[in-house]
Structure 1
Amino acid sequence: MATYTKRVHYKNRKRQINVGARPGSIIIPDDAVKPQIVIYSFNETDLQTSKGTDMKAITQQIKKCKDHTHWIKINGLGDAALIEDIGTFLDINQLVLEDIVNTHQRPKFDEYDGYVFGTSRVIYFNKENELVNCQFSGIVKDNIIISFEESHLDYFEAVTTRLKAGKGIIRVGGPGYIFYALTDTILDNYFVLLSQIGDMIDTTEDKLYQRPDKSIMFDAQQLKRTLIIIRRSCWPERDKINDMIRSESDLISKDTKLYLRDAYDHCIQAMDMVESYKEVTSSIIDLYLSMVSNRMNEIMKVLTIISVIFIPLTFIAGVYGMNFSREDAHGHLIPDNMPELYMHHAYIYALLLMFFIGAGLVAVFWKKGWFNKL
């Protein structure tokens, strides 16, 4: 029995367009969730964690841990006042704040006086099998990194686990290294997503070889659309990482740039996988259409053979089915009007003639090997 690929739904998020709005306007999307703030203050030997929902929690934690590096993790963009307060507290350009709440940005890396700003696309399948494409933004300044995510989902649990464990250089690498770690986590999850898509492609291919039906074309098309979405994120992500490697900002240290080169290679690998999978999905669609076309040709071939066999039989039946009288009204024979009508056993002869003609045609087709190819 054929297995079917799960239908992938795309979580639609309407882009909010405000024609004529002032540059730097902070306009919160209607579906934005209220922010949840977690602050990680850390150094080589200590880690302090606090939670809150407003600017007060941030300032208190920073004053409490003056000799620490601070990662301010904000999940949810549904508070314009908080975004404004953060911009005032860190002296952030209004255009950057606008890019944070305008969640349709392409991945990019921008340098400003005293801080850097970057965005990435977070793509994953949720529990409802919807493909979610949301935005991650980060600001790095002095000993502070602030990350912004659209939902309450803990997408960077692996980074927080490493931070709590305190192993490696994550606590001493500075806020630039944390920004790299978050970017690298996004890339690693691209590979997880591509692995899931690869399994879906294998399932679709197996179905194509075993019992093809029209759902194969729909499955392949939706997988191709998913790959296009990932490709639109991978290409600018590569440029973003390249800009970080070439950055002259002190916030991106030389040691961090070494790790960024590795992340750049991962991004190239993800792009290669996307292109390969796109070719495979296109091949699946083309192969299915070819199989449908070949199947149609086989059906037409069968119908043609049947027609060729019955055409002469139909001709004979048509000739002897003509209603021409053999005698006129006075009982005289009419010349050239079907003398076979008065032959003995003419009906049997006509049937035998049609049988031998049909059998002869079948023998010719069999000798040519047409039946073997059906």
Structure 2
Amino acid sequence: MLKRRRKLKKHSPVGSRPGLLQVPEGALPSRIRLVSFDADSCEEVEAASLEQVGAALAAGERLWVDVRGLADLEILQGVAELFRIHPLALEDVMNVPQRPKQVAYPENHQIVLQMLVPNHIDRFEQLSLFVGEGWVVTYQEQYDDDFDGVRERLRGGGGRLRTAGSGYLAYALLDAVVDAYFPHLHTVQGLLEEVEMAVFDEAHGGILELMHELRVTLLELRRAAWPQREVVQSLLRGESKFFGEEIQPYLRDIADHAIEILDQIESARDSVSNLTHIHLSLVGQRTNDVIRWLTVMASIFIPLTFLVGVYGMNFEHMPELGWRWSYPVLWTAMIALAACLFLFFARRGWLRDD
């Protein structure tokens, strides 16, 4: 059974100043992973300090600063100040979950996405991505992500990831977020196949609860995937200087994947709806079969009960009771009546399993 983990957004108090930061409930301690690279090398610092980040930025290196965990305001604000991230954008980082969106600022571009937590089909974390001239900054709620492939490409040095601009690195991260939906949807499809087999299994219990959980999970997936498609399409319209013409073909590929994901989600939702209708129809049919058999049995035994009730009355003068053959005649009449009713119902088709 899937476990529902719906996250409620924590809003700032009414009348508070813009940019007020509040640590999300259950936030993890903040860690900085610093990746500096060029065409010839790639260096990683797993637990970097703000001083190391500032020194790498001052040296003009190409950077990917990955901040994981949102509990330490000093670290979050320190990174934002180094890269001149707008206070309202940092507020979006802290007020999770945000609806996926993209906002262009004079010195950088903000992109907010809902990223699936690895190995969970119904849990999301917010990814806040900022791209500037020569750098990318990401804020994540969790420590685990689906960016290992991007990191391996940076370490290996193949392709354009080291030599292209920061927009290409941002594209690679966006592509990883969107493509991570496919294995999760494959898991949902496997659950749908199990549900389809269980629908026709009379002994299987809890099928409606499982279908309800799948329906809610698909609704959450659609709620996250739909605005992400809008984000990619807005980037395709050239609304950011960091995603130039050389990045547009790659963004179109992400847009195609986003549309395919939505198609799969809608198809799965239709399947769940159809399976629900089939299940309810089968339950109704089985109930009708039981009621039909009960009706047949009652129809057979009602006249027999009437005869037994009549001759079971304790009257002193009942002529049939004094007759020698009354008992076998009554039994013969009851058996004949039951047989006639049974044949009648059989000819009407009431005894067949549909």
TM norm. shorter chain > 0.5: yes
Superposition misfits of 4+ residues, deviation over 4 angstroms: none
Shifted more, 168-177 versus 192-201: the winner is 168-177
Out of 20, 28, 31, which is 2:23 matched to? 28
Distance in 2 separating the partners of 1:317 and 1:140: 91
User: Which residue is 1:16 aligned to?
Assistant: 10
User: Which residue is 1:340 aligned to?
Assistant: 320
- Per-residue deviation, 1:235: 0.4
What SS is found at the alignment partner of 2:159? coil
Show the 5 A alignment for 1:219-298: 219-298=210-289
Distance in 2 separating the partners of 1:162 and 1:211: 51
Letter of the structure 1 residue corresponding to residue 99 of structure 2: R
TM-score normalised to structure 1 length: 0.89
Q: Does 1:41 align with 2:36?
A: yes
What SS is found at the alignment partner of 1:370? coil
Which of the two has higher C-alpha Rg? 1
Q: Does 1:365 align with 2:349?
A: no
Distance in 1 separating the partners of 2:273 and 2:342: 41
What SS is found at the alignment partner of 1:117? strand
Aligned residues: 353
Q: Does 1:349 align with 2:329?
A: yes
What SS is found at the alignment partner of 1:152? coil
What SS is found at the alignment partner of 1:259? helix
Distance in 2 separating the partners of 1:14 and 1:243: 27
1:148-186: per-residue Cα shift (whole Å, max 9, x none)? Answer: 111111431111111111111111221111111111101
TM-score normalised to structure 2 length: 0.94
Contact 1:220/1:281, CA 8 A, preserved across alignment: yes
Q: Which runs of 5+ in 2 are unaligned?
A: none
- Per-residue deviation, 1:91: 2.4
Distance in 2 separating the partners of 1:312 and 1:203: 48
RMSD, matched Cα: 1.8
Contact 1:8/1:222, CA 8 A, preserved across alignment: yes
Distance in 1 separating the partners of 2:353 and 2:209: 29
TM-aligned CA distance change 1:313 to 1:284, over 3 Å: same
User: Which residue is 1:3 aligned to?
Assistant: none
Show the 5 A alignment for 1:87-106: 87-106=80-99
What SS is found at the alignment partner of 1:296? helix
TM-aligned CA distance change 1:130 to 1:46, over 3 Å: closer
Contact 2:118/2:145, CA 8 A, preserved across alignment: no
User: Which residue is 1:133 aligned to?
Assistant: 124
- Per-residue deviation, 1:325: 2.8
Work out the percentage of aligned pairs sharing the same amino acid.
29
1:100-135: per-residue Cα shift (whole Å, max 9, x none)? Answer: 111210111111112110011111354xx6732110
Distance in 1 separating the partners of 2:193 and 2:83: 50
What SS is found at the alignment partner of 2:123? strand
Q: Does 1:59 align with 2:54?
A: yes
- Per-residue deviation, 1:78: 1.5
- Per-residue deviation, 1:39: 1.7
1:292-350: per-residue Cα shift (whole Å, max 9, x none)? Answer: 11111000010000011111111212222233332xxxxxxxxxxx4323222112111
Distance in 1 separating the partners of 2:173 and 2:102: 14
Contact 2:122/2:220, CA 8 A, preserved across alignment: no
1:61-92: per-residue Cα shift (whole Å, max 9, x none)? Answer: 2234x2x3211111111211222223322222
- Per-residue deviation, 1:53: 4.3
Letter of the structure 2 residue corresponding to residue 323 of structure 1: N
- Per-residue deviation, 1:212: 4.7
User: Which residue is 1:302 aligned to?
Assistant: 293
What SS is found at the alignment partner of 1:9? coil
